[in-house]
Structure 1
Amino acid sequence: MSAVLAAPVPVVGPRLAVDLDAVAANTRLFADRTPGALMAVVKADGFGHGAAAVARTALAHGAAWLGVTSLAEALALRAEGLTAPVLSWLNPVDADYTAAVGARVDVAVPSRAHLEAVTRAGIGARVHLHLDTGMARDGAPPAEWGALCRDARRAERAGLLRVVGVMGHLGCADDPADPANAAGRAAFDHGLATARATGLRPPLRHLAATAATLTDPASLHTMTRVGAGLVGIDPSGTTRLHPALTLTAPVVGVRRVAAGTAVGYGRTWTASRPTTLALLPLGYADGLPRATSGRAEVLLRGRRCRLVGRVSMDQVVVDAGDERVRPGEVATVFGAGRHGEPTTAEWAVWADTIEHEIVTGIGARVSRTASS
């Protein structure tokens, strides 16, 4: 039989702490790396770090612009009192472009249908023409680019809008040697020449995101867009940045079990020796990938302890060995790695994914705090 220990100390829930000093340091690094303006991309709630807090920190430390995907995200920043220039670049044709004009939000235009919708929104729209430079997803295909530029120039001459930018994106910038990067740069340069030939003179030209800003000077134009890098993620693996998230969870139950004790759904793990199991109130509904079952680790009592059994919706079990763990003690699920705790990079390896998915996946049940 297993022995279950009652909690002698108050237990609080899982917490996600955002280190805004880390965001500030990363922003300064990227501001120094780019010859033009720095756009702080705060989509997906600032990569899970809090869009408004990350935006304010980035603007205070070298960023001049903010970038998001949807108009809803852009309008939320305005509602938070942020007045810096904002670009939204992923919207349906029937989005509320009138609201964008009223809130002074720039919008990306990836098609002639989008351009028509924006021109109907009212005088004063500011647009960035979006060119597909080799990813076959968002952005105008090269075969349609010339017509889009000509239509945009006519709308600009009619006073309906102003083309202030041309943008693209590199799909393989995390590997600087990939020939797709040179092809993407060439496609962007050709797109700029086409735009100029129609009479457009956009002052903002932006192709590089985080990885390209760090590794590909040839892709830098008058603005760069950096999101993951602000919160400490370098997809290229070339630069030491400052991770900004720490996820902790309290131990809510402890039991001493005998060899042969099975844990969790499917009995996928069985104790090979007497051991102590610690229960954490955090699971895949909170953003811990189920694929990390039996692979991931947490830091508990100063040492790494592995998750055993399957990651459940609301809880995980940790093998603490012979540690005298008590309910109420706190485990660090991931952090900056300075104290031996796992990092989001390690969690990404355990989940066979990328850090972006780990940091943006932490659920709403986890309480957030931000400090600087």
Structure 2
Amino acid sequence: MSALAYAQPRTGSRPTLTVDLGAVAANTAFLVGRVAGEVMAVVKADGFGHGMVDVARTALAAGATRLGVTSLEEAGRLREAGLRAPVLSWLNPVDADWAAALAHGVDVAVPGRDHLDAVVRAAPGARVHLQVDTGMARDGAAPHRWADLCRAARAAERRGLVRVVGVMGHLACADQPGHPANADGRARFAWAVATARAAGLRPADRHLASTAAALLDPGSHHTLCRVGAGLVGIDPSGTTALRAPLTLTAPLVDVRDVPAGCPVGYGHTWTAPAPTRLGLLPLGYADGLPRTASGRAEVLVRGRRRPVVGRISMDMTVVDLGADGTGAGETVTVLGPGDDGGPTLREWAAWSGTIEHEIVTGLGARLVRTVRPAGPRGL
């Protein structure tokens, strides 16, 4: 029995996520102008949900000089797409394919002796960035193991087995400029660089700052800053207006008039206080709308904010349309830059009790994706 073939719905008749690469270019150019050193465009997690290759190309055209990702698999996708800019990968298991990293010219982070030994065995001559824990107890070598890692790396370097080209760390509280952990992190990083130099290493790349520190903490910039969230309009500190590239729209697939007292959705968590018209959107938490935003979120319909009512379910979201006569087929703005008065990514994060990063990286594969090019020279 042959499979049934269905015509693809036209764009606009399904939930659609539009990525404006002009916004990515503008954000990159702004950040490049904000820091003294180079900007590494961090495009992990599919470019924070915006499309890894598109964001990478746009950022490079707008002034970034390097690319950063977590896994070697992500680095491989960049190389397969034809991108030849320097790439750093910093989160890999000990048994990762280090030889492939070497073959594709990908720098790798080394957070400890086990990783260093594995790289030496599998990819002699690899370019490595030694990674130090500057106060998060997460990634990077603990301070009491740092000197030993530096000595071992220098011994391997003298034998031609690695090239130590960088030292890297990360700040825990950069989105809070006055937090004492930032001064501690900067001091620990300075100590780590001095320790590496005392061991005979001469790392040309020294990087500690990500987006928030790039915007707010010049003392953490060193030779380059790793910027990811800022490329896609997210400032974790909330102090800088960046451009939001994403717009999520969806059609009303059904409307119905209901009387006062009509309960809506699972658990009947909302009941119509008066006669009203309800609209049904064909997207839900399987598409990335957090269920925790139920009863708090709003959408834009015909230029007016309308509340999400009842629980956001897996595939459906109900909106209270009031009495303005909106019908099925109307396009609703779920989130966007906010220029038209619509809900923004920051608002969705607040309604959901989370951060903007989680929203953008959770937007689902069922959404139709369209891309607006950045224009000449990425601008």
Please indicate the TM-score interval, normalised by the length of the shorter structure.
over 0.9
What is the rounded CA distance, in whole Å, between the counterparts of 1:347 and 1:282 in structure 2? 15
Q: Is the 8 A contact 1:130 1:139 kept in 2?
A: yes
Query: Partner letter of residue 24 of structure 2?
Result: V
The CA RMSD measured in Å over matched residues stands at 1.0
Post-superposition shift, 1:12?
1.3
Q: Does 1:251 align with 2:252?
A: yes
Q: Does 1:305 align with 2:306?
A: yes
Residue-by-residue CA offset, 1:116-175 (whole Å, 9 max, x unaligned) = 011112333100000000000000000000000001001111001100000000000000
Q: Does 1:174 align with 2:175?
A: yes
Deviates more, 1:90-99 or 1:120-129: 120-129
Q: Does 1:364 align with 2:365?
A: yes
Aligned to 2:238: 237
What is the rounded CA distance, in whole Å, between the counterparts of 1:315 and 1:122 in structure 2? 50
Name the CA shift for 1:87/1:11 in 2 (closer, same or farther; >3 Å): closer
Query: Partner letter of residue 325 of structure 1?
Result: T
What is the rounded CA distance, in whole Å, between the counterparts of 1:250 and 1:103 in structure 2? 44
Aligned to 1:290: 291
Aligned to 2:65: 64
Q: Is the 8 A contact 2:37 2:225 kept in 1?
A: yes
What is the rounded CA distance, in whole Å, between the counterparts of 1:199 and 1:21 in structure 2? 44
Q: Does 1:226 align with 2:260?
A: no
- Secondary structure at the aligned position of 1:120 is classed as helix
Point out where structure 1 has 5 or more consecutive residues left out of the alignment: 1-8
Q: Is the 8 A contact 2:39 2:66 kept in 1?
A: yes
Aligned to 1:183: 184
Query: Partner letter of residue 134 of structure 1?
Result: G
Post-superposition shift, 1:237?
1.4
Post-superposition shift, 1:367?
1.3
Residue-by-residue CA offset, 1:296-350 (whole Å, 9 max, x unaligned) = 0000111001100000000100000002111111100000000000000000000
Please list, as runs of the form range in 1=range in 2, the aligned pairs for 1:116-265 lying within 5 A after superposition. 116-265=117-266
- Secondary structure at the aligned position of 1:129 is classed as strand
TM-score (norm 1): 0.97
- Percent same amino acid at aligned positions? 67
Name the CA shift for 1:89/1:11 in 2 (closer, same or farther; >3 Å): closer
Residue-by-residue CA offset, 1:44-70 (whole Å, 9 max, x unaligned) = 000000000000000001100000001
Q: Is the 8 A contact 1:46 1:54 kept in 2?
A: yes
Query: Partner letter of residue 362 of structure 1?
Result: L
What is the rounded CA distance, in whole Å, between the counterparts of 1:278 and 1:323 in structure 2? 12
Q: Is the 8 A contact 2:297 2:348 kept in 1?
A: yes
Q: Is the 8 A contact 2:12 2:250 kept in 1?
A: no
Please list, as runs of the form range in 1=range in 2, the aligned pairs for 1:346-357 lying within 5 A after superposition. 346-357=347-358
- Secondary structure at the aligned position of 1:67 is classed as strand
What is the rounded CA distance, in whole Å, between the counterparts of 2:33 and 2:17 in structure 1? 29
Q: Is the 8 A contact 1:10 1:328 kept in 2?
A: no
- Secondary structure at the aligned position of 2:155 is classed as helix
Please list, as runs of the form range in 1=range in 2, the aligned pairs for 1:320-331 lying within 5 A after superposition. 320-331=321-332
Point out where structure 2 has 5 or more consecutive residues left out of the alignment: 1-9, 374-379
Deviates more, 1:118-127 or 1:265-274: 118-127
Deviates more, 1:323-332 or 1:45-54: 323-332
Q: Is the 8 A contact 1:11 1:327 kept in 2?
A: no
Q: Is the 8 A contact 2:11 2:368 kept in 1?
A: no
What is the rounded CA distance, in whole Å, between the counterparts of 1:294 and 1:321 in structure 2? 16
The aligned length equals 364
What is the rounded CA distance, in whole Å, between the counterparts of 2:224 and 2:120 in structure 1? 25
Q: Is the 8 A contact 1:11 1:328 kept in 2?
A: no
Query: Partner letter of residue 116 of structure 1?
Result: D
Post-superposition shift, 1:21?
0.6
What is the rounded CA distance, in whole Å, between the counterparts of 1:179 and 1:95 in structure 2? 36
- Secondary structure at the aligned position of 1:239 is classed as coil
Name the CA shift for 1:254/1:10 in 2 (closer, same or farther; >3 Å): farther
Q: Is the 8 A contact 1:280 1:317 kept in 2?
A: yes
Name the CA shift for 1:10/1:63 in 2 (closer, same or farther; >3 Å): closer
- Secondary structure at the aligned position of 1:176 is classed as coil
Query: Partner letter of residue 158 of structure 1?
Result: R
TM-score (norm 2): 0.95
Residue-by-residue CA offset, 1:172-225 (whole Å, 9 max, x unaligned) = 000000010000000000000000000000100000000001111110100100
What is the rounded CA distance, in whole Å, between the counterparts of 1:30 and 1:106 in structure 2? 23
Q: 4+ residue runs of structure 1 moved beyond 2 angstroms?
A: none
Deviates more, 1:160-169 or 1:11-20: 11-20
What is the rounded CA distance, in whole Å, between the counterparts of 1:329 and 1:142 in structure 2? 58
What is the rounded CA distance, in whole Å, between the counterparts of 2:221 and 2:371 in structure 1? 32
- Secondary structure at the aligned position of 2:122 is classed as coil
